[in-house]
Amino acid sequence: MRILYVVDGRSPIALNWMRYFSQGEHEVHLVSTYPCSPDLRLASLHVVPTAFGGVVERESRVEGNGGRGLLRRLVPVGARTALRQWLGPLTLPAAARDLAGLIRQIQPDLVHAMRIPYEGMLAALALGESSRPRMLVSVWGNDFTLHARATPRMAILTRMVIRRVAALHADCQRDIRLASRWGYTGQKPAVVLPGGGGVQADIFYPDERQPGKRIGDRGEGALVINPRGFRAYVRNDAFFRAVPLVLERMPATRFICPAMAGETQALRWVEAFGIGHAIDLLPQQTRHEMADLFRGCHVAVSPSTHDGTPNTLLEAMACGCFPVAGDIESLREWINPRVNGLLVDPRSPHALAEAILRAIQDSEMRLRAQRHNARLIAERAEYKWVMGEADRFYRRVLSYGE
């Protein structure tokens, strides 16, 4: 099978999918919307910057700022997202012409675009009304709930993608349901699989030497991780406000925040709430480094208001972390409150703090959740099984209607 991926080539999610198929019998081509140099066996690599991907990448390489460009340091993440939602579609027509030329050159059997904005939009415009090659789009957790209605043009383009594609992949049942509201017919193939291709058990696994991970009465040894970084749909404002509420009752608790080093807003919150002694703002971590952090932590916090199935949530659960997450529909597909995690109002610092404290103080609940989540990940999210299902789905897409 000759597969053309239209993705952000820096994305760990996209890399997981491409790595699996490039190691098999398939011929894998990559068109990336951001400059990248992945360590993969690819038949070809092309960069077609879209929605200012090239500008963002150049900004991130500015030296002396922790790898964060001037735009990322000075403009809040919500404003950056809104800017791309309004102006990003303007970059699509020229990029689509470039992609159309590459598709004619490569002649793929399948074009797989990962997320609707802006890769799915780009691929749909490039393919036009042609029924060949087949196009599959992966819907990411906030494509419908955050981006689709952000502007009139985003709504039009989202509907165009959903009507154009031959098949749909989502990481939660909710998005299959939402797709029908945007024009997706149930007669076309659809599949629900973890977006990142599943959890690699050789990287993400619990520390069997520390079942339950004991914590002192004042929180001695308690480690809480927020792995979500800065995203428009993650309520880090509530998280940082929850930290001093936790410290009031368990002053020895420590908080770890990967991918937040150098974030101006995070530094402001740390100073404003006087929590610098209890929080570590870390740079971006590798997958192996993230696994080590998860294994050492007791609680993983995901205060998101829009989401599908976050990969970091599954990876944290696989490593034995107790999940505290936003109470949204997609996460209820994985978390049964008080059984294998806690779901709270992600906008409420008090709700977050109470859930974190409860998880820290109840070692039996954490141990039961750890055992439950180990079984859940093995049954529904193991990488080789998930990607095997993806391979079968690809073949189903190619044979659909023939």
What digits encode the pLDDT tens for the residues 14-39? Answer: 999 999 999 988 999 999 999 999 99
pLDDT of residue 74: 63
pLDDT at 66 over 50: no
Mean pLDDT of the region 109-132: 95
Order across the sheet with 110-114: list the strands. 44-47, 27-32, 2-7, 110-114, 134-139, 167-170, 190-192
pLDDT at 127 over 80: yes
Same CATH topology for 2-197+382-399 and 223-380? yes
Based on its alpha-carbon atoms, the radius of gyration of the chain, rounded to whole angstroms, reads 21
Q: Count CB atoms within 10 A of the CB of residue 67.
A: 14
- 401 CB contacts (<8 Å, ≥6 apart)? none
Q: Of residues 52 and 285, which shows the higher confidence score?
A: 285
Q: Of residues 285 and 187, which shows the higher confidence score?
A: 285
Mean pLDDT of the region 41-48: 97
pLDDT of residue 132: 87
What tokens appear for 295 in the block?
A: 């294994």
Mean pLDDT of the region 272-289: 97
Q: Of residues 108 and 56, which shows the higher confidence score?
A: 108
Mean pLDDT of the region 226-232: 94
Confidence of residue 242 (pLDDT cuts 50, 70, 90): very high
- 336 CB contacts (<8 Å, ≥6 apart)? none
Q: How far apart are CA 185 and CA 110, in angstroms?
A: 20
Mean pLDDT of the region 374-382: 97
User: What architecture is domain 2-197+382-399?
Assistant: 3-Layer(aba) Sandwich (3.40)
Q: How far apart are CA 103 and CA 94, in angstroms?
A: 15
Mean pLDDT of the region 331-360: 97
pLDDT > 70: percent of the chain: 93
pLDDT at 277 over 80: yes
Confidence of residue 213 (pLDDT cuts 50, 70, 90): low
Q: Which of 68-72, 247-251, 273-277 has the lowest mean pLDDT?
A: 68-72
Q: Of residues 232 and 374, which shows the higher confidence score?
A: 374
Confidence of residue 62 (pLDDT cuts 50, 70, 90): very low
Q: How does the average pLDDT of the chain come out, rounded?
A: 92
pTM of the entire predicted model: 0.90
- Strand 322-326 to 299-302 pairing: parallel
pLDDT of residue 186: 79
What tokens appear for 105 in the block?
A: 């050159």
Mean pLDDT of the region 5-20: 95
pLDDT at 75 over 80: no
CATH code of domain 223-380: 3.40.50.2000
- Give the start-to-end residue ranges of the domains of the chain: 2-197+382-399, 223-380
CA-nearest of 263, 114, 129 to 196 is: 114
Handedness of CA 230, 287, 322, 223 (dihedral sign): negative
pLDDT of residue 216: 76
pLDDT of residue 209: 63
Confidence of residue 273 (pLDDT cuts 50, 70, 90): very high
pLDDT of residue 67: 46
Mean pLDDT of the region 361-369: 95
